[in-house]
């Protein structure tokens, strides 16, 4: 299974970023309901795209991703230490509206 290691690393990174972003002291991310939707890692594990969603909408998620991209070095270092990675991937945070779409779909289905 050639993609197994990459998928496992991506899931481990997602889990650790979920914990680490709560420690970011930036006013752009305070009082937001953020979710790390998914993480995709390149084949050589040198870069990772982190998809962030917010219940308040895509604009709020874009504001949060700007803050996380500014703090990417801190987040990368923390993730590398916790996962004991020899070389941590470069992190790129991308706004995603999948949680907002899910809430809208739930409202439509429930009546």
Which domains are present in the chain?
4-110 (3.30.300.20)
Q: Which helix H or strand E contains 109, and what residues bound it?
A: helix 98-110
pLDDT in tens, 28-60: 998 888 999 999 999 998 999 999 999 888 999
- Tell me how far CA of residue 2 lies from CA of 8, 98, 99, in angstroms: 11, 28, 30
Please check whether residue 81 is in contact with residue 72, taking contact to mean a CB–CB distance below 8 angstroms.
no
Which pTM does this prediction carry?
A: 0.87
Average pLDDT, the chain: 90
Q: Is pLDDT above 90 for 103?
A: no
């Amino acid at each position: 299974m050639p993609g197994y290691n990459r998928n496992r690393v991506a899931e481990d990174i997602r889990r650790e970023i979920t914990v680490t972003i709560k420690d970011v002291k930036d006013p752009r991310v305070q009082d937001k309901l953020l979710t790390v939707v998914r993480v995709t890692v390149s084949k050589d594990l040198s870069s990772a795209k982190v998809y962030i969603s917010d219940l308040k909408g895509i604009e709020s998620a874009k504001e949060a991703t700007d803050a996380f991209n500014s703090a990417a070095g801190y987040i990368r270092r923390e993730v590398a230490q916790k996962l004991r990675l020899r070389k941590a991937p470069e992190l790129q945070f991308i706004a995603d509206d999948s949680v907002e779409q899910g809430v809208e779909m739930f409202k439509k289905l429930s009546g």
